[in-house]
Amino acid sequence: MKKKTRRRRCKSCHDLFMPDPRHLKRQKFCTKPECKTDSTMHSQQNWLKKEKNRDYFSGSEHVIRVQQWRKENPGYWKRGKSKKTPALFGHALQDTLLANTSDGKGF
């Protein structure tokens, strides 16, 4: 018996194609150049979506809260060097913790 490779329908041109066995699960586009372009765009969009979601859930909300808190407590951040790193991701989350803990104890 011959091994049967399931054919797939390309998400872009809707033609049937034989997916590369190594990428069986991931390949949703055939090997036509225009579909490859589509595939690249598709995965990039997916990636962007994921990034956005991640930002949305674990980032911006906290960042905004921290930024607001910073506005209300400007003196706090003048201690030490004011770092304006683009990677305030980890910082922001830490800051949130700080903000939360110092919030209830009154200023």
CB of residue 10 vs Zn ion: minimum separation in angstroms?
3
Smallest separation (angstroms) from Zn ion to the CB of 46: 17
Which C-beta is closer to Zn ion: that of 16 or that of 64? 16
Strand partners of residue 16: 9
Here the tokens at position 31 are: 């090997």
35/99 with CB nearer Zn ion: 35
Residues making contact with Zn ion (CB under 5 A): 10, 12-13, 30, 32, 35
- With CA atoms as reference, report the closest residue to 6 among 14, 20, 18: 18
Pick 12 or 99: Cβ nearer Zn ion: 12
**Residue 16 is inside which H or E element, if any?**
strand 16-17
Measured from the CB atom, is 10 or 63 closer to Zn ion?
A: 10
Task: Kindly state the smallest distance separating residue 80's Cβ from Zn ion, in Å.
Answer: 56
- Provide the token pair at 87: 């990677």
For the chain, the farthest-separated pair of C-alpha atoms sits apart, in whole angstroms, at: 78
